[in-house]
Amino acid sequence: MEFIAFAIAIAVAHQALKGYRLSKERTLLYLNLSFVLLGAGLLIDGLSNLIVLLARFHRGFLFLSALGYTINFLAQLLAYGILVFAYIQQTRNVGAQVAMVALPVFFFEHNAVTELILIFLLVYIATQTAINYSVNKSTNALLVLGAFASLSIAHLFFLLFTLSAVFFPVAHIAQLFGFLLLLAMLLRVNESV
Amino acid sequence: MIPSEQGQAAKPASKYRSQLRIYVDIMRVIQRESNQAKPTRILYGANLSHDRLVKYLEELKSVGVIRETGTEDKVYSLTQKGIEFLNNFRKVESFASAFGFSI
């Protein structure tokens, strides 16, 4: 699932880069950076989990899973932070500022704190996309809103996974669904002319 | 393709059109006029002063996205490059708009 999401994230990043080259609009560069980071995080997490799986959960390889999650978490933190910054720039909301927190360098397992941070960022982004949809009422805006709402829900399930393993596959499905909605938006944009 | 905005001061507030937006507005007026637009139509359609219109038309001609035809009365039309640019711009605009970003 991570590999599919990775491919979609890179496709979104590519479209944003094409837009930036054409328009020199900085928010599109932020969007590109954000999705490159998301893609990189997903790829590393997917690869590390694949290696652990291929090694049949050998004790010597288990640290890779935590390493992959840590890198993915940091990549997502940065990616969603950049997106939040882009929305703040766009709306000229100078009162809202992102507090940069110095993160101690150690490996994270799936835990409530990391997921809560990501949920906080994603809910902000989903709210901005909801405001955008309420203004322009386009299907593409609705797909982006759906994508970030799904990603928020996915991380809510990742949070609940700390309580029960049942939520783990559900979280992955919600995450994949979010990226598939972004893919649908991309296809619509490129077929619109 | 289109002259960039390098050298400009800080990005203006949204009530001002960017240079790129003005280029696109001019090209859209030409396209709307069945790809045969007289300067007065462009002037009113793109909401520009005469001096600025002349300047922008020259810039668009120099990058090859529009061409000037007509002998007595000037008429402007989009080149193939101009049509492709507008199509690409429409995709980018649609993509950015989906995220709530304006260009």
pLDDT digits (tens, 9 = 90+) for A94-143: 444 444 444 444 556 666 777 888 888 899 999 999 999 998 889 999 99
Q: Residue A104 has what pLDDT?
A: 47
pLDDT recorded at residue A168: 84
- For an interface test with A, the pick among B22, B23, B63, B99 (most A C-beta atoms closer than 10 Å) comes out as B99
pLDDT at B2 (0 to 100): 55
Quick check: A185 and B98 CB within 8 A?
yes
What is the rounded distance in angstroms from the CA atom of residue A83 to the CA atom of residue A31?
6
- What does DSSP say about strands B75-78 and B66-69: parallel, antiparallel, or unpaired? antiparallel
The answer as to whether B1 is a domain residue is: no
The per-residue pLDDT for A166 is: 83
Please indicate, yes or no, if residue B42 is contained in any of the structural domains. yes
Name which residue leads in pLDDT, B17 or A14.
A14
- Domain assignment present for residue B6? The answer is no
pLDDT, tens digit, 9 for 90 and up, residues A55-75: 777 777 677 778 888 888 888
Q: Does some domain include residue B47?
A: yes
Higher-scoring residue by pLDDT: B86, A110? B86
Q: Which residues of A touch B23 (CB under 8 A)?
A: none
Residue A187 has pLDDT above 60, yes or no: yes
- Residue A9: closest CA among A54, A51, A44, A48: A44
Residue B100, CA distances (Å) to A55, A88, A166 in order? 44, 12, 35
Neighbouring residues of B98: CB distance < 8 A, sequence distance ≥ 6:
A132, A138, A140, A141, A143, A144, A185, A189
Indicate the residue type of B16: Y
The whole-model pTM stands at 0.75
For B68-75, what is the mean pLDDT? 81
Could you give the ipTM of this predicted complex?
0.76
How many CA atoms lie within 13 Å of A52's alpha carbon, on the beta-carbon side? 17
Judged against a pLDDT cut of 70, whether residue B10 lies above it is answered with: no
Among chain A residues, the shortest Cα distance to B95 is held by A189
| CATH code, domain carrying B51 | 1.10.10.10
Amino acid making up residue A44: I
Contact A185 B87 (CB under 8 A): no
Work out the pLDDT band at A45, boundaries 50, 70, 90. confident
pLDDT (average), residues B98-103: 85
Report residue B9's pLDDT band, with 50, 70 and 90 as the boundaries.
Answer: very low
Instruction: Flag whether B46 is in a domain.
Output: yes
> How many Å apart are CA B41 and CA A169, to the nearest integer?
59
User: Can you give the residue range of the structural domain that contains A90?
Assistant: 2-191
At residue A149, the pLDDT reads 94
pLDDT score of A3 more than 90: no
Q: How many domains does chain A have?
A: 1
Query: In angstroms, what separates the C-alpha of B15 from chain A's closest C-alpha?
Result: 13
Q: If we measure between CA atoms, which residue out of A138, A111, A56 comes closest to residue B95? A: A138
Domain presence at residue B99: no
Residues of chain A neighbouring B88 (CB-CB closer than 8 A): 18, 22
Question: Tokens 């002349």 sit at which residue?
Answer: B54
Where are the alpha helices (H) located in chain A, listed in sequence order? 2-23, 26-54, 62-91, 112-136, 139-161, 167-191
Inside any domain, residue B3: no
Q: Which domain holds residue B31?
A: 19-94
Out of A92, A135, A144, the one facing B99 most closely (by C-beta) is A144
CA B11 to chain centre: 19
Q: Which residues of B touch A138 (CB under 8 A)?
A: 97-98
User: What is the Cα B79 distance to its own chain's centre?
Assistant: 12
| Facing residue for A28 by CB, picked from B20, B89, B96 | B96
Q: How many domains does chain B have?
A: 1
Instruction: Collect all residues of chain B within an 8 Å Cβ-Cβ radius of residue A129.
Output: 99-100
Q: Is residue B59 part of a domain?
A: yes
Determine the Cα–Cα distance for residues B43 and B53; give it in Å rounded to an integer: 6
